[in-house]
Amino acid sequence: MTAPDDTAARYRRPVPVLWWTGRRPYLLFMIREFSSVFVAWSVVYLLLLVRAVAAGPAAYRGFMELSASWWMLALNVAALALTLFHTITWFVVTPKAVAVRVLGVRLPAFMVAGPLYTAWIAVSAFVVWLLVR
């Protein structure tokens, strides 16, 4: 009863907990938000790999065996799908959030998103070149 806004809150219509399951755009929104869990998982997984590499060849082999187990593969296939979803939704949203102006004219969305996709492909190609040789 400290904040004056409590009065207003009591007149607000309660929102059902699963409000986002009813409509497709709402559901996609929530999947996008929860894709961040898989972004975090992917980084944790990479750090575990680095830790195994630091511990020596035997630990690296052990990690590779673990990563080939069916449940770890399933987890990482899900992580791949959701991090791809993250990348695409991120590049779709960025031109809406970042207004790039040249000579006072706002650049169209594709001229903001285009360089992002280019950078994505270039960085991915560089990582593959670095690791697969």
Partner 1 sequence: MAREGRAGPRRRPVEPFLWLLFSGGGMAAAVLVPVLVLLFGVVFPLAGGPPYDHLRAVAAHPLTRVALLGLAVLAFFHWAHRFRFAVEHGLGLGRLDRLIAPLCYGAALAGSAAAAHVLFLTL
> By the criterion CB under 8 A, which residues form the site for partner 1?
2-5, 15, 17, 19-20, 30, 33-34, 36-37, 39-40, 42-47, 49-51, 53-55, 57, 60, 64, 67-68, 72-73, 75-77, 79-80, 83-84, 86-87, 90-91, 94, 116, 119-120, 123-124, 127-128, 130-133
Least spacing, CB of residue 11 vs partner 1, in Å: 16
- Decide whether 8 or 103 has the Cβ nearer to partner 1: 8
Least spacing, CB of residue 25 vs partner 1, in Å: 14
Least spacing, CB of residue 103 vs partner 1, in Å: 26
CA 112 to chain centre: 19
- Decide whether 105 or 132 has the Cβ nearer to partner 1: 132
Least spacing, CB of residue 125 vs partner 1, in Å: 8
Who contacts 21 (Cβ-Cβ below 8 Å, separation ≥6)? 27
What type of residue is 41? W
Residue from 68, 71, 64, 112 nearest 90 by CA: 112
**How far is Cα 103 from Cα 94, in angstroms, rounded to an integer?**
20
